[in-house]
Amino acid sequence: MRVRTVRTREERKRPSVFMRLKADESFRGVALFEPDPEAAEKGENPGYFEYYDHYDKAGNTYVPCSGEDCPFCAANDNPSTRALTAWYFPEAPDAKDQIKLFTMNYSTIEDITDEAEEEDGILGKKIRIKRLDDRGNYKIKVLPDKPLTAKQQKDLLKRLEEEVLKGDGMEGLVVAQLKRQIERLKALDLLEEEEEEDEDGDEDEEEIQTGTRAAAAGGASARERPERLPERPALSASQGGGTGGDWPEPRESSPVEPQQRVGELDIRLRG
Ligand SMILES: [Zn+2]
């Protein structure tokens, strides 16, 4: 086993292809997409990928929905709509920072779709996006700048595919994220199984330890986690790759579960 080392100062900065905003921050970028899942489905909209995902409370992270064999759907968790969108930042001093991806939530997708209808499309147009708060509210405004020419659009979409997505498309990034998350969930599942095997020991001690660990994990209840995970994610091995572990951290506050009391947990474990 080896430890991954930081080899250069450049690497330490952990450059990300994702554009992230904190509350009150905004960006001005040129849209390299139309908010149109049907065009994306036909392969005509490579800067846009709309999909479903689940918020995993225990891990404080988002897990793309894998459809029929999705462990979250199996546990009756309703997925949310999300879209990965591509943006061009002509003013970025470094060419490799000129194309970034931004993840949109449901209400932002609705807003930008509305703008696109109003403006007869947004591809190639400069747009300002401002994050208003930590509850997932954004403000969108199409700016009057001169739009990109068809040639510029074509060249930038080619750069997106080759430099940012490395040939796997937007879907490749989301599939890579799904794979990582399924691996994480499987590891958790294995931990739980080991725990169950140990339960013949000193019962009281075991309960205290379990309760403490659950509390340390953010009050996560095992009940909310899917009981059974698929043996392996239903993904083709040819997909994946993408840009490694730089998926956006969930910054939007999500409905916070009340901290589970240890007493409650004890009762559950006994039963
Ligand atoms: Zn699902």
- Please tell me the distance between residue 162's alpha carbon and the centre of ligand 1 in angstroms: 30
Please, are residues 260 and 215 in contact by the beta-carbon 8 Å criterion? yes
- Please tell me the distance between residue 79's alpha carbon and the centre of ligand 1 in angstroms: 6
For residues 212 and 230, give the distance between their C-alpha atoms in angstroms, rounded to a whole number.
28
- Please tell me the distance between residue 130's alpha carbon and the centre of ligand 1 in angstroms: 29
User: For residue 58, what is the domain's CATH number?
Assistant: 3.90.198
- Please tell me the distance between residue 246's alpha carbon and the centre of ligand 1 in angstroms: 22
| Structural domain total, the chain | 1
Q: What is the span of the domain harbouring residue 185? A: 9-270
Q: Report the percent of the chain where pLDDT is more than 70.
A: 71
Whether residue 230 lies inside any domain: the answer is yes
Whether residue 73 lies inside any domain: the answer is yes
- Please tell me the distance between residue 159's alpha carbon and the centre of ligand 1 in angstroms: 32
- Please tell me the distance between residue 185's alpha carbon and the centre of ligand 1 in angstroms: 14
Whether residue 63 lies inside any domain: the answer is yes
Whether residue 3 lies inside any domain: the answer is no
* pLDDT for 210 beyond 70: no
Please, are residues 109 and 130 in contact by the beta-carbon 8 Å criterion? no
Whether residue 209 lies inside any domain: the answer is yes
Residues 1-28, mean pLDDT to the nearest whole number: 84
Whole-prediction pTM value? 0.70
Whether residue 220 lies inside any domain: the answer is yes
The CA R_g of the chain, rounded to the nearest whole Å, is 21
- Span 142-157, pLDDT tens digits: 999 999 999 999 999 9
Question: pLDDT band at 182, cuts 50/70/90?
Answer: very high
The confidence score (pLDDT) of residue 152 equals: 97
Tell which residue, 114, 123, 113, has the closest CA to residue 83. 113
Tokens encoding 34: 């139309």
- Please tell me the distance between residue 76's alpha carbon and the centre of ligand 1 in angstroms: 9
- Please tell me the distance between residue 63's alpha carbon and the centre of ligand 1 in angstroms: 8
Instruction: Find residue 245's DSSP bridge partners.
Output: none
168-170-174 Cα angle (round to 5):
95
Tokens encoding 25: 């921050």
Whether residue 4 lies inside any domain: the answer is no
Whether residue 69 lies inside any domain: the answer is yes
